Structure 1
Amino acid sequence: MGLGRSFDEKDLKVRYRNLSMMYHPDKLLGASEEEQSLHNARYLKIRHAYDVLKDPVLRAAYGSVMSTYLPLTTHNFNPTPDKFGDSVLSCSHCRTFRDHLFNFSSSYITFYTGSALFLIVLSILGKVEYGRYWRFVGMVGMAALEGKMLMQDSDPTAFLVPWRSTHERIAMLHQLFVVSSIALSQVGPMLYPEKIKSTKQLVEELDQLTNMQLKDSAEAFRSAFEPFADDPRAAGELQRKMEKLAIDLRLHEDAALQTAAAQARARRRP
C-alpha cells in the first residue's frame, strides 16, 4: 500500500481511499470479464490489508509493512508477515498478542522437536558423524534467538535485513540452519579432515598398553609377596598352600572327577 513502518492512521486511510478509488470494481463496468476478476482480486487484497493494518493487535502479530509500491500482479498485495504470518488469520479465538503467541507456539515446538528427532535418528544411523555436536548447539541457539525475536518488541536481527519482517527473518534462519547442516556434512570433512590412524599406529598403541599392563601386574605381584622375602619358613608355608589351592582348583574344573566324586558320595549315603 506504499506505507512505511512509521505510518499513522491518517496515512493508512488516505492510502486506502486512493487505492479503493483506483481498483474498485465499479470503475471497470465496461472491462472484460477476465480484467474484472483480476481487479476484484486486487481490491479484496487491498481491503484485507487495510483491515489488518488498522487493528493494532493484528498489525503487530501479522504484518506492519505493505509493499512499498503498487505492483501490477495480484500476489504482491499480500501484507508482509511480521511475527506469526498467516497463522493469525486461522485463529478465530485470538484477541490479544498473547493469544497469537500461544497459537503460534505449536508450530515453534513442532519445528524444533522434529528437527531434534531427525538429527538424533541420523546420528544413530551414523549419517551425520562430522559436526554432530555443533549441529545441536546451533539448533538450540537458533531456538533461543527465535524465541527472543517472537517475544520481544524489538527484533535483535532487524539491522541485518531491515526490509524484511520478523516472520521472514525467522524463515531465513530456518533455511540457513538447513543449508549450514548440509554444508557441514559435505564440505566440512574436506576442509578439516579427521585424523585417521594407520594400522601400524594402532598396533604400536596396543603394544604400549599391553606392556604397561604387564608392568603394573608384575609390580602388584612383587608388592604382594614382598613380606615373605626375608622369612623362608613363611615363604615355604605359603608355597605349600598355593600348591594345594592350585590342585583344588584343577580338580574342581575337571568334569570327569566331579562326576566320580558325586557318584562316590551317592554310594556312601545309607
Structure 2
Amino acid sequence: MQEYLSYFGWLFLPPLATSFLQRTYYGIFYSNNPPHPQSHKFRKHYKRIYTVVVISYLVYTIFEAIWSIQPNFYEILGVKKEFEAKTLKTHFRRLQLQYHPDKNPDAEAQATFILIRKAYDTLMDPVQRFAYDRFGPEIIKCDHCKTTREFLANGWSDFGAFYTSTCLFMLVVNFLGKGQFGRFWRFVAFFGVACMEASMILHPKSTSGSFISMILRNMPIFEQIIVLRRLCIAMFLALSHVGPIWFPSEIVDIRQELQRLELLSKFAEQEASALLVDGFEPFRKDTAAQIMLKRKMEMYEVNSRLNSHSEFKGMYNNVRQRLITNKQRNR
C-alpha cells in the first residue's frame, strides 16, 4: 500500500513543490519585479525547476525502495549468497548462543532467535532456498508447497497480481491525462520489464550481466525484482511529467475539430433551409405561379439530365454546328 501511495504522490507533489520553489526563488532574486506568469522567462524557469524536482523525487524513490527493504536471511545470518554449509552452521551456532532463550530471556531476543532459526532452516533446504531467493519470505509460508514446481506455481500468482494491478494503475494515470507522452513505448517497456523479471526467476544466470543484477549483485533475486519494479514505474511517471514540458505535442485534437466541423455544417444547413423558404415565399399564395414554376423546374431537370449525357451533348453540338454553318451560307 505504501508503494502505491508514493506513486500517487507523483500526481501532486512535483507541481506543488515547483510552485513553492519558484515563488521562493523569485522572492530572493526578483523581489522587486518578478517575471509575469505568461512571460517566456517565467515558463523557462518553471520548466527547469520542475525538471530538477522530478529528477530529485525519482532519485529519492529509488533509494527509498532500497532502504525500505528488510534484512534478508543472508544478512541476518551474516553469510554471502554463495556460502558453504560449514560457514552457515558456524554463523548460526554463534547467533544461537547469543539469542537462545536459555541464554537471553529478553522477549526481543526470543523473536530474533525464531527469525534466525527460520532463516537457517530455509537456507539449508535447497527447495526452500530456491523459492526464497526468487519470491521472498512470504513464499515460505505456503504450507502445501513441497517441491520446486509447487513453489513456482504459487509465486507466479504474485507475479500476475502485481503486473495486472500495475497495468490498471497506468491506464488510470493515462485516463487522468498524466501519461500521454510516450504512451506506446511506455507499455512496450512495461511488458519488457515483465519478461525480464520472468527470466530472472526462471534463468538467473541469463540476466546476471544486466544493469540491475550488476548494481545489486549482493541482493537475492526477489530484492532485485523489488527495486526493478519501483525503478520501472518511477521512470515511467518521471518521463510522463518531464517529457511533455521539454517536448510539447503539436498534434491537434481531431475530436475538437470534428465537433467544430459538425457545428458549422448544422449552421450551414439551417441557413440553406432559411434561404430556400425565403426564395419560395412569393409563390405560396399564387397557384398559377406555382404551376409555372413547377413546369420550369421540370424542364430544368430534363435539360440537366440531358446535358450530363455524353451522347446527347455530342448530338447537340453537331446540330448546333450545322445550324451555324447553314446560317453562314445563307448570308
Q: Over the residues paired in the alignment, what is the CA RMSD in angstroms?
A: 2.8
- Closer, same or farther: CA 165–229 of 1 in aligned 2, 3 Å: farther
Matched, 1:114 2:165: yes
Matched, 1:154 2:188: no
Aligned partner letter, 2:122: V
Q: How does 1:87-126 map to 2 (within 5 A)?
A: 87-126=138-177
Q: Take 1:95 and 1:175, find their aligned partners in 2: how far apart are those partners?
A: 31
Q: Take 2:180 and 2:316, find their aligned partners in 1: how far apart are those partners?
A: 63
- Aligned-pair distance for 1:120? 3.1
Matched, 1:14 2:81: no
Q: Take 1:146 and 1:44, find their aligned partners in 2: how far apart are those partners?
A: 31
Consecutive aligned runs of 4 or more in structure 1 exceeding 6 Å deviation:
none
Q: Take 1:100 and 1:38, find their aligned partners in 2: how far apart are those partners?
A: 31
- Closer, same or farther: CA 120–4 of 1 in aligned 2, 3 Å: closer
Q: How does 1:173-252 map to 2 (within 5 A)?
A: 173-195=228-250, 227-228=310-311, 231-233=314-316
Please identify which structure carries the higher helix content. Answer: 2
- Aligned-pair distance for 1:22? 2.3
- Closer, same or farther: CA 233–196 of 1 in aligned 2, 3 Å: closer
CA offset digits 1:135-185 (Å, max 9, x no partner): 211111011101111111426142231112111111111111221121122
Partner of 1:145: 196
- Aligned-pair distance for 1:124? 4.4
Do the aligned residues in 2 keep the contact of 1:149 with 1:166 (CA within 8 Å)? yes
User: Once the two structures are aligned, what percentage of the paired residues are identical?
Assistant: 36
From 112, 116, 121, give the equivalent of 1:46: 116
- Aligned-pair distance for 1:117? 2.6
Q: Take 1:155 and 1:167, find their aligned partners in 2: how far apart are those partners?
A: 16
- Closer, same or farther: CA 46–133 of 1 in aligned 2, 3 Å: same
- Closer, same or farther: CA 37–227 of 1 in aligned 2, 3 Å: same
Partner of 2:329: none
Unmatched tracts of structure 2, length 5 or more: 1-76, 262-306, 320-331
- Aligned-pair distance for 1:129? 1.7
- Closer, same or farther: CA 11–162 of 1 in aligned 2, 3 Å: same
**Residue-pair matches, total:** 187
Q: Take 2:158 and 2:139, find their aligned partners in 1: how far apart are those partners?
A: 12
Partner of 1:240: none
Q: Scaled by the length of structure 1, what TM-score is found?
A: 0.61
Do the aligned residues in 2 keep the contact of 1:16 with 1:46 (CA within 8 Å)? yes
Unmatched tracts of structure 1, length 5 or more: 30-35, 63-81, 207-223, 237-270
Q: Take 2:227 and 2:311, find their aligned partners in 1: how far apart are those partners?
A: 78
Do the aligned residues in 1 keep the contact of 2:79 with 2:88 (CA within 8 Å)? yes
Query: Residue 187 of structure 1 aligns to a residue in which SS?
Result: helix
With CA pairs under 8 Å and 6+ residues apart, which has the higher RCO, 1 or 2? 2
Query: Residue 117 of structure 1 aligns to a residue in which SS?
Result: helix
- Closer, same or farther: CA 226–170 of 1 in aligned 2, 3 Å: farther
Query: Residue 205 of structure 2 aligns to a residue in which SS?
Result: coil
- Aligned-pair distance for 1:90? 2.1
